Every structure is written in structure tokens, then in C-alpha cells.
A and B are shown apart, each in its own frame.
Chain A
Amino acid sequence: AQSVTQLGSHVSVSEGALVLLRCNYSSSVPPYLFWYVQYPNQGLQLLLKYTSAATLVKGINGFEAEFKKSETSFHLTKPSAHMSDAAEYFCAVSKGTPLVFGKGTRLSVIA
């Protein structure tokens, strides 16, 4: 069964610093991969997705992720953190619906 592992349940960065949220997938065949963000008391919003086209995927709000098959990874990055980026981030995988989610990483941004 496919799954994703998010390393680090909580990541804290300073405002303006690099954001790196880690996600590794488990699948014998590269799946579709997604990053979602959940702001407090809200539903999930799609940040970006990998669907076997370009390995470097750009998303909304300045986020991007790189698919690395050799490392079975799909880490999320942003060059400069903003206070508004504080939220819960979920990596998800699909080989056909429905999505399977990782446990999530809470990002805190310190002024």
C-alpha cells in the first residue's frame, strides 16, 4: 500500500529564513504527489502537485517541491518564510483516488 512519511511533526523557522518540510513516499511506481496547507480552523488548500511532468513543481504562495525518484522524496521548500505561512502542511499520495495523507507538519514562523 502506498504511504507518505513526513519527517518532523513541528518545524520552527525565523521570518525570512528558508522553509524545508520533508516528505518521503513509499511506492514501487512513482505516484502522484501533493502538498496541502491547512490554516487554523479552515479546510485544506492545494499548494502544489506532481503528476509525472516536470520534477520541480512550483505552487502558490512561493512554495515549490522537487520530486526525486532516487530518494523517493518530495520535499517542500520556500526561500523566505512569512508570518502568514504558519499553518499545518500535509503531504499526500495517490495512485488513483482517494488521497492518502501523511501525519502533517506544523510550521511556526518566528518574528
Chain B
Amino acid sequence: SAVISQKPSRDICQRGTSLTIQCQVDSQVTMMFWYRQQPGQSLTLIATANQGSEATYESGFVIDKFPISRPNLTFSTLTVSNMSPEDSSIYLCSVDSTSGSYEQYFGPGTRLTVT
């Protein structure tokens, strides 16, 4: 399994500002994923980030709002831009298993509140 850390663990931000969330993995992984979990809801995939290529965004999510970087095989960032209260959510970083069983491992999440 992989150990994943995220920074910050939580933040309270003003509307109109941006926040960058960092995700660090203790081993090299091919694919990293960013999910959003709105209050009381399930997880929704924002995008898939492969090292060396542009992230692939899911329907309803755009690069201008959620720019993603993947500079190497152990690190990624997600920026939430021009925030509004509707962006208040938990943002989770995830990586795929290298064992071929398609399971994913998750970071502890970043709890974002926009006021």
C-alpha cells in the first residue's frame, strides 16, 4: 500500500481567493486522482493526473477552476481558484495500486471552508 499525505489538512478561505493543496506519496505511482466530497455527499472525481501530461478532467470540472500540476511520480497539487462558498468540501488525493488490482489508496483529505 501507499502512504499519502496532504497539506493543508484544513483551511478557511475568503471568497475570491485561491488555495493550493499538496499531495505527497511515499512511493512512485503512475496515476494520481483528485476527488471532491461535498458535505454529506459521496466522492466525485475531479481529474486524473499522470506525470508528464495534462490532467484529464471529468465533466463539470475545468482546468481554469481546478488547475493541477504533476511534476514527478510522487507529488501533485490541486488549486481551487476564485473560490466561492460552493467550493466548501473535502478534497482527497488518491493513487492507484501498483499490484494491478485497481484498488486506490487515499490521503486524509483537505477540509476547505470558504466564507
Contacts and interface: CB of A to CB of B under 8 A. Distances in A.
Contacts of B94: 98-99
A97 B92 contact: no
Contact of B101 (A45, A51, A90): A51
Interface in A17-57: 32, 34, 36, 41-46, 49, 51
Contacts, number: 52
Interface residues of B, number: 21
Interface residues of A, number: 22
Contacts of A77: none
Interface in B86-112: 92, 94, 96, 101-109, 111
A37 to B, nearest CB: 11
Interface of A: 32, 34, 36, 41-46, 49, 51, 90, 94, 96-104
B53 interface: no
B45 A98 contact: yes
Contacts of A98: 31, 33, 45, 48, 94, 96, 104
Contact of B109 (A43, A101, A104): A43
